[in-house]
Amino acid sequence: MGDTPYPLRTVTDDELDHFFRMISRAFGEDVRPEEIALDRLTAEAGRTLAAFDGDEMVGTAGAFTFDLAVPGGRLPAAGVTYVGVSPTHRRRGVLTSMMQRQLADIHERGEPVAVLWASEAAIYGRYGYGLASRRMDVEIDRTQTAVRRDLPVDESVEVRLVAPADMQDAVEAIERAVVDERPGQFVRDARWVETALADLESRRHGRSAMQGVLATRGGRPAGYATYSTKASAVRGHAIADGDIAVIAQRALDPAADLAVTRLLLSLDLMRRVRWWNQPLDSAIPHVLTDPRQARSIITDGLHARVVDVPAALSGRRYARPVDVAVAVTDDRCPWNAGTWRLVADGDGVADCERTDAAADVALDVEALGAAYLGGTPLTALAAAGRVSTTNPLRLNDLSVAFGWSRLPWCPVIF
């Protein structure tokens, strides 16, 4: 498992530019020095892996060190990234060797969970990553709907346009304050905020420069959005037909969020407003007079991998008490395999230990990863034949216990 003639090692800081160029090639993209400079901000050379054919780098992988929100808490986690294999060396097991080595490294570091965004959703299940969250792109034609008039206006919130470069501190403060609201988010320090506010020409694709909206209450940051616009007109008719792409929108409370939404929906000459990465339980359809006008496309979001079953299962909280024996299969991380007794009390605080008891529920580690952040019901996985049980009522209870008040979502595609 994971055997390959291409030796693996981490790359040095000096080799990072070459490492990033290799990834751009694997993705079929241009190599852009300004993108590489930005990638370097958050890169952790010590967590990279590269595969070599002689002197030639033919495969890359890496990880970020995350403080990840999980239901009711936070855990150290690996944010898997930089995965690519040279077109000349594909389907020879290079990826498998990197994933296998990386899982061992993550386990050794004591990170109970790993998460990633997949370029193609079929790639990572074989390594135990399950579909744990989904994202929704939402588009509104603002000639067809508006913000409901019965929603209150908070006069204490002031909204103004601010250059993104001047919002760094406010954005960092807001992002840090909201990280525990939703599983799947990770703590973003100044480097990550700088990355999010960077307005690279190569990313504009004919759109305007990034614009910023800042909501404050009593002079303190309470919410923000970044967006870009594309002005246009219906051909031959001079009817305004522009659109707004919302890059990010976050707030400390619903009133500040609504103030930002109202501003975004009030920009003259812009017909459509598009949010490109929203949680499935986004507020957007619910603030509109016509929720059907929130046209949505849903795709996969974070894929999660449980790397240490007892640490991961006892490191989150549960929505209701449980006492259940769960049999887990895991070919790649044999330390996870076996039957685990999960006991959660009335506060949702859990303990997880090995047991000899007969299992109530059986699943593989990919299904466990899918359910782990509370976004994929175990009952849905059971309906797909991927979770089995000797006791359907117990499974129902466990499925509710794994759920959470907010759906998991990650605002950053890393």
Size of the site for ligand COA (CB under 6 A): 18
Rounded to whole angstroms, what are the CA distances from 239 to 206, 224, 234, 236?
20, 30, 5, 8
Residues 6+ apart with CB under 8 A from 120: none
Binding residue (CB under 6 A) for ligand COA from 22, 26, 214, 252: 26
* Binding piece for ligand COA, criterion CB under 6 A, among 88-96, 262-270, 295-303, 350-358: 88-96
* Binding piece for ligand COA, criterion CB under 6 A, among 65-73, 84-92, 203-211, 382-390: 84-92
Residue 95 found at the interface with ligand COA (CB under 6 A):
yes
CB of 134: closest distance to ligand COA in angstroms? Answer: 16
Give the span between the Cα atoms of 279 and 300, in whole angstroms: 11
Residue 91 found at the interface with ligand COA (CB under 6 A):
yes
Binding residue (CB under 6 A) for ligand COA from 11, 22, 78, 83: 83
**Hey, which residues between 128 and 147 contact ligand COA (CB under 6 A)?**
none
Which residue number, 119 or 156, has a Cβ lying nearer to ligand COA?
Answer: 119
Residue 286 is inside which H or E element, if any? helix 284-287
User: Under DSSP, is residue 340 helix (H, G, I), strand (E, B) or coil?
Assistant: strand
Residue 33 is inside which H or E element, if any? helix 33-42
Residue 120 found at the interface with ligand COA (CB under 6 A):
yes
Residue 50 found at the interface with ligand COA (CB under 6 A):
no
| 164, two tokens | 């993104």
Evaluated on CA atoms 190, 29, 20, 9, the torsion sign reads positive
Residue 92 found at the interface with ligand COA (CB under 6 A):
yes
User: Under DSSP, is residue 291 helix (H, G, I), strand (E, B) or coil?
Assistant: helix
Residue 84 found at the interface with ligand COA (CB under 6 A):
yes
Which residue number, 243 or 364, has a Cβ lying nearer to ligand COA?
Answer: 364
Burial class (CB in 10 A: 0-12, 13-18, 19+), 297: exposed
Please, are residues 139 and 328 in contact by the beta-carbon 8 Å criterion?
no
Residue 299 found at the interface with ligand COA (CB under 6 A):
no
Q: Which residues bind ligand COA (CB under 6 A)?
A: 26-27, 83-85, 90-96, 118-120, 122-123, 126
